[in-house]
């Protein structure tokens, strides 16, 4: 069965410091991996997906199939990055549904 694990419930960093959110997954086959973000009082929205290999708001994520990880990174955190971040996967073996991790709350301090 597919599973997504985000080991950190809370990450607290200072503005300008690097931030890395960990995501590990289990899946039979080649999954589609995503990062979703939820800012305060806003709806869940897609941040980035691994197939597009793009950088959004300075965030990047690399799929490491050997380590079954999809960690999210940003070299210089900004206060507006404070939010809840969810890693998710999908794919045929998952019934094409999104399976989410438990989420990591990021707090960027001034």
Judged by CB under 8 A, does residue 101 bind other proteins? Answer: yes
Q: Contacting other proteins (CB under 8 A), which of 59, 71, 83, 103? A: 103
CA-to-CA distance for 84 and 8, rounded, in angstroms?
Answer: 11
**Beta strands 45-49 and 32-38: pairing type?**
antiparallel
Of 14 and 39, the one with the shorter C-beta distance to other proteins is 39
For residue 68, CA distances in Å to 3, 14, 15, 19, 52 come to: 11, 29, 29, 20, 18
Query: How many residues bind other proteins, per CB under 8 A?
Result: 23
* Site string (17-46) toward other proteins, x via CB under 8 A: ---------------x-x-x------xxxx
Q: Which of the residues 41 through 60 are near other proteins (CB under 8 A)?
A: 43-46, 49, 51
For other proteins, the binding residues (CB under 8 A) are 4, 6, 32, 34, 36, 43-46, 49, 51, 86, 88, 90, 95-103
């Amino acid at each position: 069965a597919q599973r997504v694990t985000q080991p950190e419930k809370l990450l607290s960093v200072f503005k300008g410091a690097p931030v890395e959110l960990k995501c590990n997954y289990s899946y039979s086959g080649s999954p589609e991996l995503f990062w979703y973000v939820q800012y305060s009082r806003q709806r869940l929205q897609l941040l980035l997906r691994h197939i597009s290999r793009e950088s959004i708001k300075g965030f990047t994520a690399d799929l490491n199939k050997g380590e079954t990880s999809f960690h999210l990174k940003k070299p210089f955190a900004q206060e507006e990055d404070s939010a809840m971040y969810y890693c998710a996967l999908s794919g045929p073996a998952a019934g094409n549904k999104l399976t989410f991790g438990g989420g990591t709350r990021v707090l960027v301090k001034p």
